[in-house]
Amino acid sequence: QVQLVDSGGGLVQAGGSLRLSCVTSGRTFSRYTLGWFRQAPGKEREFVAAISWSGGTTRYADSVKGRFTISRHNGKNTVYLQMNSLKPEDTAVYYCAADKDPWRRVIVTTAGDFGSWGQGTQVTVSS
């Protein structure tokens, strides 16, 4: 089991930027894929981005490609989500998550494939 603590959310105007951070602890020596999901009021939790343990492979939802960048620093046990050109529709609670299978070779994007979650950090983008 890996513990996740995410932070960095806040209020920003449209077009602005935020960087979310997620510090992991526990079995961080395992090669977990890490990802970010978000959930807006009245909507299902949706995939945002994911990154392999090595950082060499990333995946993004179409809605954030070109605007968001996921990265990780394994020495700091931290994964980041740099969010630029934010839009009001990006408003949601953002959660970091770890793949429940530490040895999976393929990056997954379904919430059910992630077994550990952060507490969530609120991102609000005003128009």
pLDDT tens for residues 73-92? 878 889 999 999 999 999 99
How much is the mean pLDDT over the chain? 93
Phi and psi (nearest 5°) for 68?
-105, 145
Q: What is the model's pLDDT at position 1?
A: 74
Q: What is the model's pLDDT at position 28?
A: 62
Is residue 29 pLDDT above 80, yes or no?
Answer: no
Measured CA to CA in angstroms, residue 14 lies from 19, 65, 109 at distances of 15, 17, 26
Q: What is the model's pLDDT at position 74?
A: 78
